[in-house]
Structure 1
């Protein structure tokens, strides 16, 4: 296959079109050296092709590649490939761009002796343990490949980028979601007067539930579940799990006061079930 060069981004990266007029970005060591727009380039010289589904995302990728070192982009591409293998969710295609931009900036800051503290680090460790482990693995790979020693705070920032791609939302909303989950957990532990095992499966399920609920809430997608419409079932849960239902209402009050959002009755019941689970898990552990 032969591509036509639309723009030479640098010696290693080209913006090209194929025979069908489809625009894409291709990379390869020295592929752009001595070339200019309008010239053909053989696909044999191409190491990788990037064709984003969204043209705005494609343009952002091209803009980024004009600004960051090629080695930073190549390493991030490897990291994103590994992340995608480990994440069971479909990740937003923009992850490569946002993560490459962040990693390159973090490396430059480190070289200048400037490091940022991550105010959400402890919450990230607790509520996104898998993503945080991936963030630490990324930091280790950066150290091995580029001899740049980034901090655990950066591992946390990388984890948030992964979460952001999972939830398919903005970084601002991802930060709010993290604070939301942390606030709800504080309400729960205050209500029961104890700290739960944050490593337990039941707690993990609660944290994941709160995380995706917060996503729906902040994106105004909260919906009623038809399977929960039975009034008798609602009354049964509310009466048989009264203590946990009252805790769910405390969470609802926190959400209303702090985030100006209302929980549906369905959401209260789902929370009640999760709260019962973490308490059962805690009781079984202490026996």
Structure 2
């Protein structure tokens, strides 16, 4: 007769979250479910198929699990509760399972934000405008999350913080970490500033041309970071016909390579040249190709 697999409770985080370890595999899990932590104590056993377990996940990196433990030691139980409510709202509205790592990153972020606000530290988001443009649905969800945080803790979250929460919403729906999204945004900002400096122009941040440019650049930067390169059959023609745009694209690619720590293939340089050509064609000024 096959022995029933059991989970030993390591720690009760709250009424809906506990840490447990498999008695056969030795793996540590975060278990979530309505009322799963109510009335249970460390050391008690749960069946693997306990009906109260609605979600389970484990952080594969031991360092991440160690940080998760440390964060849980210090976290306000209300932070855990409000995190559960926010993630439940995201899952309900967007559907599908969420990225497991958000269960660690979001409460940690909320805890830090509360610390900053309670100590009078300013929250500034230089990428707010672009974030609202790139992730409108996630920004709306982040606004609902901010409202929950404000109501629970009696704080006033600035719009800049809603922008940062947007990254965590997007991260919950994808495999892209919030810190990576911030890095991509920073790289795009640097690229626009490099274009302005090299071309001697000032790009209006309110223009449709700017919105298209930064959106194209963000997808390019993210694609390069993830190594998802695409073939570019127009590359030879781009080198010949659009020499100015291609040269500028090479300069921007060098910046991307430096910031991301990866090589930028010529095919991607070609796509950046196309993005630049389209952008400059939209400007009301002469631009030599």
- What's the TM-score, normalizing by structure 2? 0.69
Q: Is residue 279 from structure 1 mapped to residue 289 from structure 2 by the alignment?
A: no
2:120 aligned to which of 109, 114, 124? 114
- Shift of the 51–66 alpha-carbon distance from structure 1 to 2, 3 Å rule, reads same
- The question of whether the paired residues in 1 share the 8 Å contact of 2:32 and 2:54 is answered with yes
- The question of whether the paired residues in 2 share the 8 Å contact of 1:124 and 1:132 is answered with no
Deviations 1:103-143 (A, max 9, x none): 02322443x3332433xx12243256325554444222322
Deviations 1:74-109 (A, max 9, x none): 322332344457779996421221111110232244
| Aligned mates of 2:278, 2:224 — CA distance in 1 | 20
Post-superposition offset of 1:181:
1.0
| Aligned mates of 1:198, 1:246 — CA distance in 2 | 25
Post-superposition offset of 1:65:
3.4
- Shift of the 127–89 alpha-carbon distance from structure 1 to 2, 3 Å rule, reads farther
Post-superposition offset of 1:273:
1.2
Q: Look up the SS of the partner of 2:127 in the other structure.
A: helix
Post-superposition offset of 1:182:
0.7
Deviations 1:197-231 (A, max 9, x none): 55556325323234314624xxxx485x4x33x5x
Post-superposition offset of 1:147:
3.1
- Where structure 1 has 5 or more consecutive residues not aligned to the other structure, the ranges are none
- Shift of the 18–10 alpha-carbon distance from structure 1 to 2, 3 Å rule, reads same
1:33 aligned to which of 24, 33, 39? 39
- What's the TM-score, normalizing by structure 1? 0.70
- Where structure 2 has 5 or more consecutive residues not aligned to the other structure, the ranges are 285-289
Deviations 1:152-174 (A, max 9, x none): 33223323445666463583x55
Q: Look up the SS of the partner of 2:126 in the other structure.
A: helix
Q: Look up the SS of the partner of 2:237 in the other structure.
A: helix
Partner of 2:100: 93
- Shift of the 137–127 alpha-carbon distance from structure 1 to 2, 3 Å rule, reads same
Greater helix share, structure number: 1
- The question of whether the paired residues in 1 share the 8 Å contact of 2:5 and 2:22 is answered with yes
- Shift of the 260–199 alpha-carbon distance from structure 1 to 2, 3 Å rule, reads same
- Shift of the 27–89 alpha-carbon distance from structure 1 to 2, 3 Å rule, reads closer
Partner of 2:217: 207
1:9 aligned to which of 7, 12, 37? 12
Moved more, 233-242 or 98-107: 233-242
- Over aligned residues, Cα RMSD in angstroms? 4.2
| Aligned mates of 2:168, 2:257 — CA distance in 1 | 27
| Aligned mates of 2:95, 2:242 — CA distance in 1 | 32
